[in-house]
């Protein structure tokens, strides 16, 4: 029963936890850079289009699958119809693979906030390094140090999850998310007062139609969709699991709008913190980990004596964003394991199960942690570095395929009336039935096929879309 697994105390707690899951590294280093290099404001419009076609609908469907059954994905899908069980396995497998690289990156963020914090007092260390690229490379090639920070990151995850849904996750995220928001505003104010920051805003927001020439827009649409999906934590078991802890009193329609809107606002704000800072110091923004750990550290080192303080603030904020995301995925795996015990009629201990899950994830993270983003000479699966390999399995394949299945299941198997019934539980309104019907029957499956092809295309550089 869901009661025995725990429940959020309030809708605010649920929103903070779910927005916490959504706001993560994807917002802070993925969104601003992708927006800037894929057409600026025009990318944003396509992002919103994808959100309307499939983001809101998969979000509400995941809430409903979780809440109607009170279970994590595998048992939730099984309860709806045993034919659907496999889709639950896809979601939990995606969660396992996502954590296998996300926690290593979480460890990186800890290293950087700790080092910047120390520099506030010493004005030495990371702050005085002349070459932030070399510093980053030295760090990621120092396996012992990376594994140590990974272990710390995982222990914090474990402590929060051991506290349970209301006592751990809700308590932590209701403090952490407002704090993150305030820290982000402080960083934005500082950055926008730097000379030359305006160029960063125009990098992000200027419509650049070049990216759309020929079949380019199809590429951009695929990228915008993939980014949107990852950013909303869809297709990876986390949202279904959080939905299973939500009281029937709360409105699913309202929450399925609030969470994506809040996530998008934070992504835009992250862009306003990151991009203008790079441009103010004439540093070319890059993508991926390089943006966060090389470019931005350079910005703080160039900022003068307040650099370490703002560096600490930014990396601490990114760490909070990463941990509120990783706990949602880890909780999904823990919850699925608890369901399996309950199904067998066995008793369970949340703390023991959480410890086992975290230990397994720690082991799965070791290749990522020791791989130095592919530079350490470890064997590379399918020619990918370990981070990209796990990301391919989670974000590239399982996430879009599982979500395509979910859209079809709701559109043609369970039907929108099932969704309506769940949304109207305890007297809430189910507004926009026509819109949801169009989403599940046509728009969302189409968009998901598109996102799946886009992901395969970008991982294997197939040039499907020209």
Per residue, the 3-state secondary structure of 364-383, as one string, reads HHHHHHHCHHHCCCCCCHHH
CB of 322 to ligand PFF, least distance (A): 7
CB of 427 to ligand PFF, least distance (A): 30
Contact map string, positions 293 to 332, toward ligand PFF, x by CB under 6 A: --------------------------------x--xx---
245 binds ligand PFF per the rule CB under 6 A: no
**Which of 19, 74, 236, 313 lies at the binding interface for ligand PFF (CB under 6 A)?**
236
Question: What would the two tokens of residue 461 be?
Answer: 């550089």
For residues 440 and 417, give the distance between their C-alpha atoms in angstroms, rounded to a whole number. Answer: 11
For residues 260 and 317, give the distance between their C-alpha atoms in angstroms, rounded to a whole number. Answer: 20
Report the residue count for the chain.
Answer: 466
CB of 314 to ligand PFF, least distance (A): 16
Residues in 169-208 at the binding interface with ligand PFF, rule: CB under 6 A: none
Q: Would you list the DSSP string of 18-34?
A: HHHHHSSHIIIIIHHHH
Residue among 27 and 301 whose Cβ is closer to ligand PFF: 27
CB of 263 within 8 A of CB of 232?
A: yes
Contact map string, positions 361 to 390, toward ligand PFF, x by CB under 6 A: ------------------------------
For residues 152 and 261, give the distance between their C-alpha atoms in angstroms, rounded to a whole number. Answer: 32
Q: What are the residues whose beta carbons fall under 8 Å from the beta carbon of 434, sequence distance 6 or more?
A: none
Compute CA 285 distance to the chain's CA centroid, rounded to the nearest angstrom: 21
Stretch that binds ligand PFF, among 71-79, 187-195, 232-240, 254-262 (CB under 6 A): 232-240
Contact map string, positions 275 to 294, toward ligand PFF, x by CB under 6 A: --------------------
Half-sphere exposure of 118 (CA within 13 A, CB side): 10
230 binds ligand PFF per the rule CB under 6 A: yes
User: 3-class DSSP state for residue 347?
Assistant: coil
**Residue closest to 68 by CA, chosen among 458, 419, 427, 444:** 419
CA distances from 167 to 13, 89, 154, 177, 312 (A): 11, 28, 18, 16, 28
Contact map string, positions 78 to 107, toward ligand PFF, x by CB under 6 A: --------------------x---------
**Which of 13, 20, 24, 107 lies at the binding interface for ligand PFF (CB under 6 A)?**
24
**Which of 2, 7, 18, 27 lies at the binding interface for ligand PFF (CB under 6 A)?**
27
How many residues touch ligand PFF (CB under 6 A)?
A: 15
Applying CB under 6 A, the residues found at the interface with ligand PFF are: 21-22, 24-27, 98, 230-231, 233, 236, 238, 325, 328-329
């Amino acid at each position: 029963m869901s009661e025995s697994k725990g429940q959020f105390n309030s809708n605010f707690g649920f929103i903070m936890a779910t927005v916490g899951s959504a706001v993560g590294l994807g917002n802070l280093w993925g969104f601003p850079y992708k927006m800037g290099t894929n057409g600026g404001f025009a990318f944003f419009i396509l992002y919103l289009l994808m959100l309307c076609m499939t983001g809101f609908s998969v979000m509400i469907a995941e809430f409903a699958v979780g809440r109607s059954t009170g279970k994590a994905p595998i048992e939730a899908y099984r309860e709806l119809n045993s034919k659907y069980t496999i889709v639950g396995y896809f979601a939990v497998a995606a969660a396992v693979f996502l954590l296998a690289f996300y926690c290593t990156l979480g460890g990186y963020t800890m290293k950087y906030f700790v080092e910047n914090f120390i520099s506030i007092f010493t004005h030495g260390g990371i702050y005085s390094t002349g070459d932030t690229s070399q510093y980053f490379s030295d760090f990621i090639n120092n396996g012992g140090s990376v594994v140590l920070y990974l272990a710390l990151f995982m222990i914090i995850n474990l402590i929060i999850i051991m506290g349970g849904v209301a006592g751990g996750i809700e308590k932590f995220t209701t403090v952490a998310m407002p704090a993150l928001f305030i820290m982000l505003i402080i960083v934005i104010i500082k950055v926008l007062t730097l000379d030359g920051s305006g160029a960063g805003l125009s990098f992000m927001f200027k419509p650049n139609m070049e990216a759309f020439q020929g079949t380019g827009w199809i590429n951009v649409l695929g990228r915008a969709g993939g980014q949107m999906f990852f950013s909303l934590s869809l297709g990876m078991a986390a949202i279904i699991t959080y939905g299973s802890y939500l009281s029937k009193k709360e409105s699913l329609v309202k929450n399925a709008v609030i969470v994506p809107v809040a996530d998008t606002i934070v992504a835009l704000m992250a862009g306003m913190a990151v991009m203008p800072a790079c441009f103010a110091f004439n540093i070319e923004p890059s993508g991926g980990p390089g943006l966060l750990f090389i470019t931005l550290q350079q910005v703080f080192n160039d900022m003068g004596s307040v650099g370490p303080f703002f560096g600490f603030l930014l990396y601490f904020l990114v760490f909070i964003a990463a941990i509120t995301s990783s706990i949602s995925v880890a909780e999904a795996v823990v919850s699925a394991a608890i369901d399996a015990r309950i199904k067998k009629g066995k008793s369970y201990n949340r703390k023991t199960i959480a410890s086992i899950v975290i230990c397994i994830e720690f082991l799965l993270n070791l290749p990522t942690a020791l791989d130095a983003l592919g530079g350490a000479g470890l064997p590379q699966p399918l020619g990918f570095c370990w981070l990209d390999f796990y990301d391919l399995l989670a974000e590239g394949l399982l996430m879009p395929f599982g979500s395509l299945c979910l859209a079809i299941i709701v559109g043609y198997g369970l039907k929108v009336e099932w969704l309506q019934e769940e949304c109207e539980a305890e007297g809430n309104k189910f507004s926009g039935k026509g819109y949801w019907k169009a989403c599940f029957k046509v728009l969302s499956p189409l968009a998901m096929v598109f996102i799946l092809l886009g992901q395969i295309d970008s991982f294997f550089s197939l040039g499907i879309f020209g």
